[in-house]
Amino acid sequence: MTLIINIIVFILVLGIIILIHEAGHFFFAKKAGILCHEFAIGMGPVVWQKSDGETDYSIRAIPIGGYVSMAGEAVSDAMFKKDETIGLLLEDGIVTEIVLYDEGNFTVSGVVKSFDLYGKNMSSLYIEIETSSGIEKYEVSRSAKYRFNDKKTMWITPEEKSFESKSLWARFITIFGGPLMNFVLAFILFFFAGFFILQPNYDSNAIGEISADSVASNLELEEGDLIKSINGVSINSWYDLSSFMADNDSTSVDLVITRDGQDLPVFSDVDLATYIQSAGISNIFEGNTQSDEAILGQVSGRAASAGLKTGDKITKIDLTPINNWDDLIAFFNTNTGSGSIVVEYEREGSVDSVSYELIGLEALESLGTSNIVYQIGVTASGEFNLGYSLLYAPRQIASDVGEVFATLGLLFGGGDSGIGVGDLSGPVGIFSLVSRVREEGFITLVIFMGFLSINIGMLNLLPIPALDGGRLIFLGFEAVTRKPVNKKFENYVNLLFFFALMAFFIFVTYNDVFRLIRG
């Protein structure tokens, strides 16, 4: 049942983001007077389709994207060629339908000799066909349709309805409208979430929210409890707590908690939730933590891809003996680069080893995190502040955009980051993330959805042909040279990069599935 819920939530989250993106393209296209043949959510075979006016609205089987099919994007919008046999349905001697199948209802049929269905500068549209009676020329209505079968039709594309005939600004905003709406969606989601986000009181040592299945919940701590000391170090504010965690080098600590003015009995040898992010391993699984042995809890990223699993017991890393989690922490506090490690482990009585690349400290710090993260599972106390809530959306957008740029810099900027394209996630990876985030509550899911919308918007703005950003580059070239890029060349480049992106998509999906299976 949980899997079904996760799938439904994933489809809704991704579907809404894609819907809003394509709606941005569609809105500005219609506003510019561009004929839109189809508005599709998803890819592949049609699951559902409804025609309304000039546009077919479709839901397709694979929920990984969508598109708006606009007139004038192809080299030629004609659905037939010279010397092809077609049928023509006439009303008052004018063509209203071009029939492209044998069983269709038509007034006359013949072999196409010449035609003009573009009508530059509002010149008349026509089709010239050869019948048994000779060659006849017929005027074509500017609102004529192609008929492919008894149910499927599509409007022809005269110049005035074509994408290419519109002003540079109209074409720019039509293409940019998709990513723009991703940012608008993110702003709306963050604005909504902001009213549920309390302004943290970092000057206090009081506990705010407590995560389910966390160290704090297992200790039965309560909201409002004060963290008085950790390992004898006084904690008077959240800054003190952060400073202690940054300098900590052990998973096991002693906690002193004050409740209602009274110190609770000391919580001795509490195992903190520990995440070694450079290696993709942690000591937490099913809400429990442990440090006596180097047994893995959650395993992610490269560790999962290499084959490590929850429950594996680490015995050596690069020939260094590992007996417990403190040994793991000591090793990774010393080894912070992005080099390769060899991990020896025990699983069900058998000993084996794997090798994989670490994520370097440079990369982690660029993304605003650290090599080793310790957590109790609590947040700082806070209170509602209208100004803080209203500013949450722009702050969060700025933060997420900065994170995307930081990630792109690590991917393509060189250096010893240890980050590569193999670390990227596609739909399968996003599904895993959505599934985990859903368990943390509705507001957390809303915030993640905003983050995902920004990522998709930014991705589409990359200057790569076949993406919105690549198409904007072609428009930029036209703006500078005052001449449009040759349509055949543009379409060829876009098609080439489309296949390259599909190959890359398959590569990323393969990595996602491999990590999921191995993890």
In the 3-class helix/strand/coil scheme, how is 166-231 assigned residue by residue? CCHHHHHHHHHHHHHHHHHHHHHHHHHHHCCCCEECCCCCEEEEECCCCHHHHCCCCCCCEEEEEC
DSSP state of 266: P
How many Cβ atoms sit within 10 Å of the Cβ of residue 157?
28
What is the model's pLDDT at position 202? 94
Residues of the chain falling short of pLDDT 50: none
What is the model's pLDDT at position 116? 94
Q: Give backbone dihedrals phi and psi of 405, rounded to 5 degrees, phi first.
A: -60, -40
Q: What beta strand segments (E) does 332-412 contain?
A: 340-347, 350-357, 372-375, 378-380, 382-383
CA nearest 236: which of 226, 223, 249? 226
CA distances, 449 to each of 148, 198, 319, 395, 406 (Å): 40, 19, 43, 16, 20
Distance (Å, whole) CA 173 – CA 195: 32
CA torsion 298→300→302→308, rounded to 10°?
A: 40
What is the model's pLDDT at position 184? 97
The helix or strand, by DSSP H or E, that contains position 482, with its residue range, turns out to be: none
CA nearest 380: which of 220, 241, 218, 172? 241
What is the model's pLDDT at position 420? 64
> Bridge partners of 300?
none
What is the model's pLDDT at position 275? 92
Burial 378-398 (b: 16+ CB within 10 A, else e): bbbbbeeeeebbeebbeebbe
Distance (Å, whole) CA 486 – CA 463: 18
CB neighbour class for 459 (10 Å; exposed up to 12, middle 13-18, buried from 19): middle
What is the model's pLDDT at position 158? 93
Residue 135 contacts by C-beta under 8 Å, 6 or more apart in sequence? 113, 128, 129
Q: Give backbone dihedrals phi and psi of 124, rounded to 5 degrees, phi first.
A: -65, 145
CA distances, 312 to each of 36, 148, 279, 299, 351 (Å): 55, 60, 14, 10, 10
**Cβ atoms of residues 131 and 137 within 8 Å:** no
Distance (Å, whole) CA 482 – CA 475: 10
What is the model's pLDDT at position 30? 95
What is the model's pLDDT at position 211? 85
Residues 116, 119, 124, 125: is their CA dihedral positive or negative?
Answer: positive
CA torsion 491→492→498→501, rounded to 10°?
A: -140
**Cβ atoms of residues 263 and 337 within 8 Å:** no
What is the model's pLDDT at position 418? 60
What is the chain's percent helix, strand, coil content, to nearest 5? 40, 30, 30
Distance (Å, whole) CA 511 – CA 505: 10
Relative to beta strand 262-263, strand 252-259 is antiparallel
> Bridge partners of 68?
39
Distance (Å, whole) CA 170 – CA 34: 10
